Amino acid sequence: MKEAFDIVIFGGGGDLALRKLVPALYRAFRDGQLPAGTRIFTSCRSAEEVAGYHDKAALALQQYLRPEEFSVEVWAEFQTLLQSLLLDISKLDNHWQSLREIMDQEADKTRIFYLSIPPTIFGVCCKHLSEAQLITPKSRLVVEKPLGYNASSAEAINTEIASYFDEKSIYRVDHYLGKETVQNLMALRFTNIIFGQMWDAKYIDHVQISISETVGLEGRSGFYNEAGALRDMVQNHLLQLLCLVAMESPNKMNSKNIQEEKIKVLQALRPMTGDDVAKNTVRGQYVAGSYHGDLLPGYLEELNCSESKTETFVALRVHVDNWRWAQVPFYLRTGKRMKARCAEIIIQFKDVAHRVYEDAAGPLTANRLVIRLQPEESIQLTMMTKNMETMEMELQPATLNLNFSDTYKRFNSDAYKRLILDAAEDNSSLFIHRDEVTSAWQWIDPIIEAWEKTGDTPHLYRAGTWGPDESDQLLASEGRYWFNAGEEKKIES
Ligand code: BG6
């Protein structure tokens, strides 16, 4: 049995804690994955919040878990592990002392300090953890994005937390890495010889990585309007996915080797400055539209503001300048209020070198590997076959489907559960190294600078669509098209 641990969630009453962290811990408990003796502490800002925390957590579980997952019996047991504590993060008072006393009752346990708070107070929180002598050799710090606003602010945050925790004890979360299919992408690449041999510029025409969301601002207008889609989604999630597609095989599946390979990819990204930015990026912002017949407001209306240049959509053409990926474009795209919620990686292989069938047998479709992370997790490979229902020689694409919920009956993915349990077990292979954060920002910063310098304004797109026309043009100009969550609509170039 794994060792029991203590986890302290700073910002226990916040959105991330209630929406993701407490449900993840509940699932781990229900699935028998929380070692007996594990304790969960959540920091609250007022005595009322402490008093009402269990009710609030129960409500959150009912709201954010699937209906069949919540059970009164499991909750009755789970809540005995959950203790909320009054704590003002900005003030070192005796509440910190109380936390220390409780934790010191089981001083040898692994301690996870999960900072579910704004990065502006990461530093002070770590300082107080240190001054209250809460940091033991078995303590780990877990932090979430946004890790900075650009390379220098990210560096400042990382330097600040490094004064209290060494790099080995810092776990930087990108929740996309906790998704099971993302790990399956690595398994697929590094355990199957067929892909190992074909994973390069010789066989791959291009790669698409697309995360489309149907939601809008979700009450985060202040943060989002400052950040925009490039900082919110590309700097982290999309670049991480790109790294996993593009990296070389690590010598071993451990964090050091994986992180080293990812850093090499980030450093091989072709820098974009000046005119390259205009040629290779498209920014968008949604205006009023509709989704499944419901009218949706535009970004400015949601923001309640008459002007904003923030992009709610971005598409980019990216190159990884190394031998393996020479001349292979990686198209990245993400946006809010799009036509469907979908996160997909498409590996588009090249056409066969020579056609042996008569034209009458029908057109050939090049092989395509589709790794879908959302809404369902699946991997599909499109291949050409003979139509078996006719005696004629008729060629037709067919799909090999690896749908995890069919193959693995107990498959139940929760990225946060996986990441918290990994942190407890000192497995940092799905977390991000400081140098990854820095390299990603160093590539992103010049793009934002170029947009700002040229006064680039986002192209408008109707809510409930696939983004602005210019995004289609980005690919159409090279005879390609977005796959749009399986919609096979080709855009003419
Ligand atoms: C977060 C972004 O990191 O990821 C949000 O800040 C976005 O804007 C979210 O909605 C998407 O995550 P998921 O797992 O729902 O695709």
Instruction: Delimit the domains of the chain by residue range.
Output: 5-144, 177-411+433-476
How remote is the CA of residue 162 from the centroid of ligand 1, in Å? 26
How remote is the CA of residue 165 from the centroid of ligand 1, in Å? 27
Percent of the chain with pLDDT over 90: 90
Which single residue is written with the structure tokens 């003030």? 91
Q: Which of 16, 235, 237, 376 is the best mutation target for the ligand 1 pocket, counting ligand atoms within 8 Å of the beta carbon and taking the most? A: 237
pLDDT at 295: 95
Kindly report the length of the chain. 493
Q: Does 213 contact ligand 1 (Cβ within 6 A)?
A: yes
How remote is the CA of residue 489 from the centroid of ligand 1, in Å? 27
Distance CA 299, CA 460 (A): 10
Confidence band of 351 (pLDDT split at 50, 70, 90): very high
Read off the pLDDT of residues 308-341 as tens digits, 9 standing for 90 and up.
999 999 999 999 999 999 999 999 999 999 999 9
- Residue of 175, 206, 237, 433 marked active site: 237
- The answer, yes or no, to whether residue 404 has pLDDT greater than 90, is no
Q: Does 344 contact ligand 1 (Cβ within 6 A)?
A: no
Cis peptide before 23 (omega within 30 of 0): no
pLDDT at 249: 96
Confidence band of 410 (pLDDT split at 50, 70, 90): low
Distance CA 189, CA 241 (A): 13
Task: Work out which ligand 1 atom sits closest to the CA atom of 176.
Answer: 14
Of the given ranges (121-130, 317-326, 395-404, 471-480), which has the lowest mean pLDDT? 395-404
How remote is the CA of residue 257 from the centroid of ligand 1, in Å? 27
Buried b (16+ CB within 10 A) or exposed e, 40-77: bbbbbeeeebbeebeebbbebbeebbeeebbeeeebee
- The answer, yes or no, to whether residue 489 has pLDDT greater than 60, is no
Task: Work out which ligand 1 atom sits closest to the CA atom of 232.
Answer: 6
Q: Whose CA is nearest to atom 14 of ligand 1?
A: 176
Q: Whose CA is nearest to atom 13 of ligand 1?
A: 176
Per-chain mean pLDDT for the chain: 94
pTM of the full structure:
0.95
How remote is the CA of residue 241 from the centroid of ligand 1, in Å? 14
Is domain 177-411+433-476 annotated with CATH 3.30.360.10? yes
Q: Does 174 contact ligand 1 (Cβ within 6 A)?
A: no
Read off the pLDDT of residues 352-391 as tens digits, 9 standing for 90 and up.
999 999 999 999 999 999 999 989 888 999 999 999 999 9
Task: Work out which ligand 1 atom sits closest to the CA atom of 373.
Answer: 16
Question: What is the assigned CATH class of domain 5-144?
Answer: alpha beta
pLDDT at 485: 79
